[in-house]
């Protein structure tokens, strides 16, 4: 593992760690302080260098600390850092125009906030305004939409959570995760049956007409699950025929991760509302929604957050979009993504632990199983892949969806180089080989 200078871990940092309330770390992660990042690389306090296949929660699509984004943010900060939401700023208007031009179909109106969860709530509020008196939201099994109270309800439930009193007004329907169809069908029947259940749930399964269907085009936290293409079109048809709004949560998929600007473009479906977040700020906090022509927006007082239109993040986002273009990162993502996926297919020929490989672009998930016939989830092995790869300078993502947790995620910055990707693949190859030896499944 490459090394650079160390950063002293002083007593105040140790005390700070003790003082911190955490809500996400799984207990598997090492006590690591990240002190520097550049493109697809990060460095810790001991000077260790890692190839980061998580792009820090799939956010650094254009690479970490791009100087063009950092400079745009600094320049904005020198002029004005904070503008309350009653007034406009230059980057606010510039980004709104840019996104309305970029978005698919007639998704031409934009709203901003700083967190994906709140952006999903904005989308829910827009749906409620446009379907007054409507009943619940419909979401998919294993979907993930955030950790605010409303979006936790819309996400797969984590066990023993204490928030159930506020987790209401959502009905979940099965989705065609065809590798393990929740209804036990093959791929074609899985799509047809899941779509049929969605339709009957909208028509008969809720008290009052549902406000909207909320779905991720590719489930990220839910285990890197892409659905068969026809499902996306079928859901659009069902929503059109039943007058239900369709919200796509593109917080993970937008801005290049699937090799297109939006997954909506990639699958050829235009939702009524698209939610974005993560990559848009180029490493600065930003999220928001795009809504289609003809939908009502907000009335005064419906939606206002003190820092919701943070000019520094908005300026960084304009620069981030320039970088995506200037560096041709969508094409780069498609090329390196295809290379990685086909190399993983080759590895699958040698590694029985690999059960399923899913894309597209750099939205890659590898589902590990102890037995390809029974598909017994290789949960401990997935944690081991994470730990052993970490000690060799590669940070993989892992999925803990539905309590299973047997998916390794490879979702680095789109700037990852071919030698870096080769290193990631060779560490994966090495670690899988060791685990298979130990399990006696070579």
Least Å distance between CB 347 and ligand PLP? 26
Which stretch in 88-96, 100-108, 249-257, 330-338 sits in contact with ligand PLP by CB under 6 A? 249-257
Contact window for ligand PLP (CB under 6 A) among 87-95, 245-253, 266-274, 361-369: 245-253
216 interacts with ligand PLP by CB under 6 A: yes
User: Is residue 251 a contact point for ligand PLP (CB under 6 A)?
Assistant: yes
Site track 305-344 with ligand PLP (rule: CB under 6 A), x = hit:
----------------------------------------
145 binds ligand PLP (CB under 6 A): yes
Residues binding ligand PLP: number (CB under 6 A): 16
Q: Which is nearer to ligand PLP, 120 or 354 (CB)?
A: 120
In degrees, rounded to 5, the angle at the alpha carbon of residue 219 between the alpha carbons of residues 373 and 367 is 30
For the bound state, the minimum distance from the C-beta of residue 17 to ligand PLP, rounded and expressed in Å, comes to 22
- Would you say 170 or 425 has its CB closer to ligand PLP? 170
Closest distance of CB 115 from ligand PLP, Å: 4
Q: Which of 111, 182, 220, 282 binds ligand PLP (CB under 6 A)?
A: 220
State the minimum distance, in angstroms, from the CB of residue 152 to ligand PLP.
10
Phi, psi (5° rounding) for residue 220?
A: -85, -70
Rounded CA Rg of the chain: 22
421 in Cβ contact with 338 (< 8 Å): no
- For residues 44-73, which are near ligand PLP according to CB under 6 A? 57
- Examine residue 397 and tell whether it contacts ligand PLP (CB under 6 A): no
Q: How far is the CB of 343 from ligand PLP (least distance, A)?
A: 26
Structure tokens of 437? 């030896």
Among 175, 244, 252, 384, binds ligand PLP (CB under 6 A): 252
Question: What is the C-alpha separation between 282 and 271, in angstroms, rounded?
Answer: 24
Phi, psi of 312 (to 5 degrees): -65, -45
Considering the rule CB under 6 A, would residue 115 count as an interface residue with ligand PLP?
yes
The residue assigned the tokens 């871990």 is 9
Nearer to ligand PLP, 103 or 251 (CB): 251
How far apart, in Å, are the Cα atoms of 112 and each of 59, 115, 313?
Answer: 17, 9, 10
Task: Provide the minimum distance between the beta carbon of 24 and ligand PLP in the complex, in angstroms, as a whole number.
Answer: 9
**Is 409 a binder of ligand PLP (CB under 6 A)?**
no
| Segment interacting with ligand PLP (CB under 6 A) among 91-99, 111-119, 228-236, 389-397 | 111-119
Handedness of CA 354, 360, 361, 365 (dihedral sign): negative
CA within 13 Å, CB half, 297: 15
Query: Does 226 contact ligand PLP by CB under 6 A?
Result: no
Query: Is residue 288 a contact point for ligand PLP (CB under 6 A)?
Result: no
Q: Which is nearer to ligand PLP, 115 or 199 (CB)?
A: 115
Cβ 286 to ligand PLP shortest distance, Å: 9
Q: Per CB under 6 A, does 116 bind ligand PLP?
A: yes
144 lies in the binding site for ligand PLP (CB under 6 A):
yes
Residues 7-36 binding ligand PLP (CB under 6 A) are none
Q: Which DSSP helix (H) or strand (E) runs through 341?
A: helix 329-350
Distances 205 to 99, 129, 138, 176, 186 between C-alpha atoms, Å: 36, 22, 10, 19, 25
- Selected from 63, 91, 104, 146, the binder of ligand PLP by CB under 6 A is 146
120 binds ligand PLP (CB under 6 A): yes
Q: Cα(8)–Cα(22) distance, rounded to whole angstroms? A: 23
Q: What sign does the dihedral 252-258-262-267 (CA atoms) show?
A: negative
Whole-number minimum distance, CB 123 to ligand PLP, in Å? Answer: 10
Between strands 364-371 and 354-358, the pairing is: antiparallel
Name the minimum Å distance from CB 359 to ligand PLP: 17
Q: What is the DSSP string of 215-284?
A: E-SEETTTTSEEPPHHHHHHHHHHHHHHT-EEEEE-TTTTTTTTSSS-HHHHHT---SEEEE-GGGGTTS
Helix (H) or strand (E) holding 368: strand 364-371
Q: Yes or no: say if 324 and 68 are a contact pair by the CB < 8 Å rule.
A: no
Angle at 32 between CA 28 and CA 38, to 5 degrees: 120
Q: Which helix (H) or strand (E) holds 410?
A: strand 407-410
Give the residue at shortest CB distance from ligand PLP: 116
Please give the residue ranges that form the binding site for ligand PLP (CB under 6 A): 57, 115-117, 120, 144-146, 216, 220-221, 249, 251-252, 277, 287
């Amino acid at each position: 593992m490459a090394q650079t200078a160390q950063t002293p871990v002083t007593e105040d940092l140790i005390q700070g760690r003790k003082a911190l309330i955490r809500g996400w770390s799984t207990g598997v992660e090492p006590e690591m302080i990240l002190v520097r990042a550049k493109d697809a690389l990060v460095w810790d306090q001991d000077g260790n260098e890692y190839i980061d296949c998580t792009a820090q929660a799939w956010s650094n699509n254009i690479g970490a600390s791009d100087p063009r984004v950092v400079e745009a943010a600094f320049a904005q900060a020198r002029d004005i850092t904070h503008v309350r939401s009653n007034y406009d700023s230059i980057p606010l208007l510039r980004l709104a125009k840019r996104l309305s031009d970029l978005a698919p179909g007639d998704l031409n109106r934009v709203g901003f906030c700083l967190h994906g969860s709140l952006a999903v709530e904005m989308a829910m509020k827009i749906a409620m305004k446009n379907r007054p008196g409507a009943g619940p939201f419909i979401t998919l099994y294993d979907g993930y939409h955030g950790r605010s109270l409303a979006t936790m309800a819309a996400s797969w439930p984590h066990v023993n959570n204490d928030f159930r009193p506020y987790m209401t007004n959502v009905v979940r329907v099965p989705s065609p995760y065809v590798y393990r169809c929740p209804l036990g069908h093959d791929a074609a029947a899985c799509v047809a049956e899941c779509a049929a259940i969605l339709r009957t749930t909208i028509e008969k399964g809720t008290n009052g007409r549902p406000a909207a269907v909320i779905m991720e085009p590719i489930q990220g936290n839910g285990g890197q699950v892409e659905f068969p293409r026809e499902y996306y079109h079928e859901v659009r048809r069902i929503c059109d025929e039943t007058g239900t709004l369709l919200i796509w949560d593109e917080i993970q998929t937008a801005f290049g991760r699937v090799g297109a600007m939006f997954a909506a473009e990639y699958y050829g479906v235009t939702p009524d509302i698209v939610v974005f977040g993560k990559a848009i700020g180029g490493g600065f906090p930003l999220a928001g929604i795009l809504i289609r022509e003809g939908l009502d927006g907000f009335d005064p007082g419906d939606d206002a957050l003190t820092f919701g239109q943070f000019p520094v993040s908005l300026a960084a986002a304009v620069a981030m979009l320039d970088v995506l273009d200037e560096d041709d990162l969508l094409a780069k993502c498609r090329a390196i993504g295809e290379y990685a996926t086909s190399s993983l297919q080759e590895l699958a020929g040698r590694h029985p632990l690999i059960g399923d490989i899913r894309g597209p672009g750099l939205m890659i998930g590898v589902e590990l199983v102890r037995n390809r016939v029974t598909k017994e989830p290789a949960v401990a092995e997935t944690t081991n892949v994470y730990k052993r790869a970490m000690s060799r300078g590669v940070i993989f993502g892992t999925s803990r969806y539905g309590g299973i947790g047997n998916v390794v995620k490879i979702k680095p910055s789109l700037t990852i180089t071919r030698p870096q990707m080769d290193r990631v693949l060779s560490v994966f190859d090495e670690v899988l080989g060791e685990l298979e030896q130990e399990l006696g499944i070579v």
